[in-house]
Amino acid sequence: MSLLIKNGEIVTAGGRYFADIYCEDEQITAIGKDLDFDADEVIDATGKFVFPGFIDPHVHIYLPFMGTFSKDDYASASRAALVGGTTTLIEMCCPSRAEEPLEALQLWNSKAEGLSACDYTFHMGVTRFDELAESQLRTIVADYGITSFKVFLAYKGAFGIDDAELYATLKLAKELDVVVTAHCENADLVAQTQAALVAEGKVGPEWHEPSRPVTVEAEGCHHFMTFAEMTGAEVYVVHTSCQPAVEAIVAARGRGVKATIETVIPYLVLDSSYTERPDFEGAKYVMSPPIRAKEHQDFLWKKLADGTIDTVGTDHAPFDFSTQKHMGHPDPNKAVNADFSPRGEAADFTLIPNGVPSVEDRVNLLYTYGVTTGKIDLQTFVATASTNAAKRFGLFPRKGDISVGADADLVIYDPAYTGIISAETHLMNTDYSGFEGMEIKGRPACVTVRGQIAAKEGQFTGTLGRGKLLKR
């Protein structure tokens, strides 16, 4: 299968220029003006941008969490990702403390293998650290090409680890040259504040943000940075939501800590007023760290523009509103159990499964609310949504670039398209969209995965099961 893309404006993290691209055997084999190859398929990209395939460095697809399971599988998630321009997924493999890491990785991979339409890899969750876990982590790095770990400073009693385990994890990571990604919130402060609010009868979704204030996230970041400084490990803070958190990481960079900063699309286009919506609608926007006040959103855009924030992911964690989110409903007549039968008593915001489905919408929202408003330029858009993640996680230049020898993962982007986001039309397997009714300007006209056309104008045209586990 060969593919020729004519007359597009190529935009990478490093520059923009007009040229044709020829792809053969899954890779880009030539880039130049007026290429004259006999291709199986020719795409006219006049008036369109050609971007490297976008990489989502933070998704949850298979996720047993808060007494339920996230709603997507690799069929629905990879279709949605591809239609939205994302061609590589990096999923968090999140075992419970009782599960062995190797078995967990094999379980997570079994959900993707043979089903995913796009390429994927995993961050290996370290949710327990002992001798057995350590030896298996060594195997996972060496044999599966998984070169990043994930730790949770939050969710004590579930995914969270203690400080001795955190120290051991970072020491191992330093030895193996592995990046450690972390969810940074002080778990004890969250638990104490939650209990105090619930005791005062503050039980609705609007109390989720006050239960995990920005100082709690900043403390988590400072805490993680201290461990990074002590061990010399390279670190990556996932879903950074606010100014004090970013500042804690920047301060550590000043002390020599090699830290990458990720934010996620809900923080850039939503604010805490969404969680105050009536009729429990605020539950749709409950994720952790919480979606913050508008001033933090403005700060995040500035720090994306000046290069302080490196990547934009999603933290895609899809739960249905009508059932799963209702596990935390404060009205006894509306609260449900994990099997969605009536709970018979009131619940509270601490029982709302955390997450906002967004793997389909990230690229279009970042383009619309970042590039078309002038908040970020096209290079920053490509760098933060693709190239920087590829570099950080050992995928570059195979992914995240348009160059000869790179995988032919390409997004031919139509800046003239306008549309409205809605759960009625999205491909994610959830009954709501957190971005319902929001306008988008621009979307992928055509998306390729290793040279095969996998999406066209909002329709999935790829092959389930063609996606490969990327050894890094």
Residue 150 CB, nearest approach to Zn ion (Å): 8
Pairing of strands 119-125, 452-456: unpaired
- For ligand URP, what does the binding mask look like between residues 318 and 357, x meaning CB under 6 A? ------------------------------------xx--
Tell me, what amino acid is at 400?
G
Could you tell me where the DSSP H helices lie in 46-92?
74-83
| Contact partner at residue 292 from ligand URP, Zn ion, none, CB < 5 to 8 Å by partner kind | none
Which residue's CB is nearer to Zn ion, number 215 or number 372?
215
Residues 244-283 that bind ligand URP (CB under 6 A): none
Interface ranges with Zn ion (CB under 5 A): 183, 223, 315
Residue 59 CB, nearest approach to ligand URP (Å): 9
Contacts with ligand URP: how many residues (CB under 6 A)?
8
Residue 12 CB, nearest approach to ligand URP (Å): 29
| Contact partner at residue 261 from ligand URP, Zn ion, none, CB < 5 to 8 Å by partner kind | none
Residue 374 CB, nearest approach to Zn ion (Å): 30
Which residue's CB is nearer to ligand URP, number 146 or number 154?
154
Please give the Cα distance from 55 to 386 (Å, whole number).
5
3-class SS of residue 8: strand
Please give the Cα distance from 281 to 211 (Å, whole number).
18
Tell me, what amino acid is at 311?
T
How many other CB atoms are there within 10 angstroms of residue 18's CB atom?
Answer: 12
Which residue's CB is nearer to ligand URP, number 147 or number 354?
354
Which residue's CB is nearer to Zn ion, number 94 or number 395?
94
Residue 353 CB, nearest approach to ligand URP (Å): 8
Counting DSSP H helices and E strands in the chain, the numbers are 13, 19
Angle of the 101-112 helix axis to the 131-144 helix axis, nearest 10: 40
Does residue number 119 form part of the binding site for ligand URP (CB under 6 A)? no
| Contact partner at residue 355 from Zn ion, ligand URP, none, CB < 5 to 8 Å by partner kind | ligand URP
Does residue number 288 form part of the binding site for ligand URP (CB under 6 A)? yes
Which pair of structure tokens corresponds to residue 339?
């099997």
| Contact partner at residue 354 from Zn ion, ligand URP, none, CB < 5 to 8 Å by partner kind | ligand URP
Which residue's CB is nearer to ligand URP, number 183 or number 223?
183
Query: Residues near 61 by Cβ (< 8 Å), separated by ≥ 6?
Result: 70, 72, 73, 74, 77, 89, 91, 111, 112, 316
Which residue's CB is nearer to ligand URP, number 9 or number 320?
320
Residue 289 CB, nearest approach to ligand URP (Å): 8
List 90, 287, 440, 455, residue binding ligand URP (CB under 6 A): 287
Residue 94 CB, nearest approach to Zn ion (Å): 8
Q: Are 130 and 163 in contact (CB under 8 A)?
A: no
Residue 149 CB, nearest approach to Zn ion (Å): 14
Pairing of strands 235-237, 259-264: parallel
Which residue's beta carbon is nearest to the bound ligand URP?
Answer: 354
List 21, 43, 48, 60, residue binding ligand URP (CB under 6 A): 60
Residue 461 CB, nearest approach to ligand URP (Å): 30
| Contact partner at residue 223 from Zn ion, ligand URP, none, CB < 5 to 8 Å by partner kind | Zn ion
Please choose, from the candidates 274, 222, 213, the residue with its C-alpha nearest in 3D space to the C-alpha of residue 241: 213
Residue 331 CB, nearest approach to Zn ion (Å): 28
Which residue's CB is nearer to Zn ion, number 99 or number 315?
315
Tell me, what amino acid is at 70?
S
Query: Residues near 315 by Cβ (< 8 Å), separated by ≥ 6?
Result: 58, 59, 60, 238, 239, 264, 266, 287, 355, 356, 358
Query: Residues near 99 by Cβ (< 8 Å), separated by ≥ 6?
Result: 127
Which pair of structure tokens corresponds to residue 446?
């055509």
Residues 132-191 that bind ligand URP (CB under 6 A): 183
Does residue number 315 form part of the binding site for ligand URP (CB under 6 A)? yes
Residues 357-416 that bind ligand URP (CB under 6 A): none
DSSP H or E stretch at residue 415: strand 410-420
Q: What does 254-307 look like in DSSP terms, one character per residue?
A: HTT--EEEEEEHHHHH--GGGGG-TTTGGGGG--SSPP--HHHHHHHHHHHHTT
Residues at the interface with ligand URP (CB under 6 A): 60, 183, 287-288, 315, 317, 354-355
